[in-house]
Amino acid sequence: MHKVYTKIVQIAGDVITVEAEGIGYLDIAEVQTRRGMSLAQVIRIDGARVSLQVFAGSKGISTGDKVRFLGHPMRVASGDNLLGRIFNGSGLPLDKGPALTENLVDIGGPSVNPVRRVVPGKMIRTGIPMIDVFNSLVESQKLPIFSIAGEPYNELLARIAVQAEVDYIILGGMGLKHDDYLFFRDTLEEAGALSRSIFFIHTAADPTVECLLVPDISLAVAEHFALNGKRVLVLLTDMTNFADSLKEIAITMEQVPSNRGYPGDLYSQLASRYEKAVDFDTAGSITILAVTTMPGDDVTHPVPDNTGYITEGQFYLKNAVIEPFGSLSRLKQQVNGKTRSDHRTIMDTMIQLFADYRETLEKQAMGFQMSAWDNKLLQYGKRFENEMMSLKVNIPLEKALDRGWEILADCFAPEETGIKKALIEQYWPKTR
C-alpha cells in the first residue's frame, strides 16, 4: 500500500537521497538492499529530493534499490512485554524473543509542559556514600558521569542500577563494547534485576546512525512507563558516542560545524534528550544517569561542556572514585534536609576537612614541615579515602553517616571539627 521508490540519486556517508513525493518530514522508510532490509529516516526534504539517514549504514546500497516509505515517524513498542528484553538501536530484538509491535509510541515526542512538573523531592538511595551522603541522587534528576576512557563508569552504572530503588531500569548503550554489554546483562541477571530491565544496545560494531536512535527509543519507552505511574531509571552510556554520531551525520549533510566539528545545535539535541527527565505531578518519573566520556579529561570539550549546562550537576569519576570536588548534585538540597538531622553537617564538615587534607598533601609534596594538625588531617584523609570514597564501600546512608562520625571522632577532638554543639552531643561517639 505504500509507494515504493527506486530512484536513489545520491549516496554520501550513511545518507541516501531519493526522488519521491508526498513524504512527511522525519518519516521512516524501509530500504531493501542486497544485505537485507534497513530502516531509514527522512532528515531533509528539498523539492523532490528526499534525504534519509540509513540506520544500517549505506554500505552495499545500490542506486537501484527499493525505498518504501511507511508514512509515519519512528515508533517503538512499549509496555510490560518489553521487560527483560534486549533490542538493538532500531528496536529489533537482539535476544531470541519475538519482535514486538504492540502499544507503539512515537519517539522524540513533545516536551512536558513545565507547569505539570513537580519540584523534585524524593531521594534515590544507591548505597554509595559519595552519592548518598555527599551528592544525593534525586528522583527525576538528570545527571551525567563525567569520566575518561578506562574508568569503571559502566561498573558504577550497573551498581547504581542494581541498588537503586526504582520500578524499572532502561539501559541505552551507545557504541558499547560487546563485552561491556555482556557485563551489564550478567550483572543485572545475577542481581535478579534483569526481569525489570529493558536493554537498547548499539555496540561499537553497529552502524553509526543506529546510535542516534538509542536515547530517543529508551526515553520514549521510559516515558510510557512514567505516564503509567512507574518510577523509571534510564542509564545512557556513552553520550559522547551519541554526540559523535550527530557530528558525523551533520558533516555528511554539509552543515556548518560550530565547535570542533560538532553541529551548532548540539546543545538543543542533548537538551531535548536530557529534559525528558521528569517528575509528573500525578504520575511517575524518569531519572537519567548518563556517561559522558571526556576526550583528554577535558571538561571544556563541547560534549561535557554542553552537557554540564543542561544537567543538574555531574558525578566526576576519576582514578576509580567519585571525586568530591567537581562532582555536584544540584538537587541534593531538596532531599538532604529530610533524611537525618546530621546529614548536611556531616556532608559539609567532612568535605571541608577533606579539602584541608588535599592542601596538606600539597604542602607535604613541596617538602614543608608537617604540623600536629597536618598529621591529623593526613590520618583523616586516608581513612576518608578508604572508608567513604572507595567504590568498594557499599552501605546505606545511615550507616555511612555513623561511619562519618566514627572517622571524625578517631581523628579529631569535637571542637576541631567546627560542628555545632547540639549535634556533637547527639551524635559524637561516646566511647572515646
Q: How many residues does the chain have?
A: 432
Q: Is 112 in the site for another protein (CB under 8 A)?
A: yes
CA distance 401 to 251: 51
Q: Is 295 in the site for another protein (CB under 8 A)?
A: no
User: Which contacts qualify for 404-407: CB closer than 8 Å, 24 or more apart?
Assistant: 404/133, 404/346, 404/350, 405/342, 405/346, 405/429, 407/350, 407/380, 407/383
CA distance 328 to 315: 6
State the Cα torsion 421-424-426-429 to the nearest 10°.
-160
Task: Identify whether the C-beta of residue 219 lies closer than 8 Å to the C-beta of residue 234.
Answer: yes
Binding flags for another protein, 248-277, as an x/- string (CB under 8 A): -------xxxxx---xxx-xx--xx-xxx-
Query: Helices in 287-342 by DSSP H: which ranges?
Result: 302-310
Identify residue 257 by its one-letter amino acid code.
Answer: P
Task: Identify whether the C-beta of residue 172 lies closer than 8 Å to the C-beta of residue 215.
Answer: yes
Q: Is 308 in the site for another protein (CB under 8 A)?
A: yes
Residues 361-420 that bind another protein (CB under 8 A): 368
Minimum gap (Å) between residue 363 Cβ and another protein: 9
Take residue 172 and report the three cell numbers written for it: 541505552
Structure letter (DSSP) for residue 58 = S
* Of the residues 114, 150, 192, 296, which one makes contact with another protein according to CB under 8 A: 114
Q: Is 300 in the site for another protein (CB under 8 A)?
A: yes
* Element spanning 265, H or E: none
Q: Is 178 in the site for another protein (CB under 8 A)?
A: no
Q: Is 318 in the site for another protein (CB under 8 A)?
A: no
CA distance 176 to 160: 18
Residues 13-72 that bind another protein (CB under 8 A): 21-27, 44-48, 72
Instruction: Closer to another protein by CB, 197 or 269: give it.
Output: 269
CA distance 258 to 262: 6
Binding flags for another protein, 202-241, as an x/- string (CB under 8 A): -------------------------x--------------
Minimum gap (Å) between residue 159 Cβ and another protein: 25
Task: With H, G, I as helix, E, B as strand and everything else as coil, classify residue 341.
Answer: coil
Minimum gap (Å) between residue 383 Cβ and another protein: 23
How many CB atoms are located within 10 Å of the residue 174 CB?
A: 30
Give the binding-site size for another protein (rule: CB under 8 A): 62
Q: Is 296 in the site for another protein (CB under 8 A)?
A: no
Minimum gap (Å) between residue 336 Cβ and another protein: 13
Task: With H, G, I as helix, E, B as strand and everything else as coil, classify residue 349.
Answer: helix
Q: Is 280 in the site for another protein (CB under 8 A)?
A: yes
Which residue do the cell numbers 513533545 mark?
110
Minimum gap (Å) between residue 254 Cβ and another protein: 9
Instruction: Closer to another protein by CB, 55 or 274: give it.
Output: 274
Task: Identify whether the C-beta of residue 388 lies closer than 8 Å to the C-beta of residue 350.
Answer: yes
* Of the residues 13, 57, 73, 295, which one makes contact with another protein according to CB under 8 A: 73
Structure letter (DSSP) for residue 280 = B
CA distance 257 to 250: 8
Q: Is 85 in the site for another protein (CB under 8 A)?
A: no
Instruction: Closer to another protein by CB, 59 or 421: give it.
Output: 421
Instruction: Closer to another protein by CB, 154 or 245: give it.
Output: 245
Residues that bind another protein (CB under 8 A): 21-27, 44-48, 72-73, 108-120, 140, 227, 255-259, 263-265, 267-268, 271-272, 274-276, 278, 280, 283, 299-302, 305-306, 308-310, 312-313, 325, 328, 331, 368
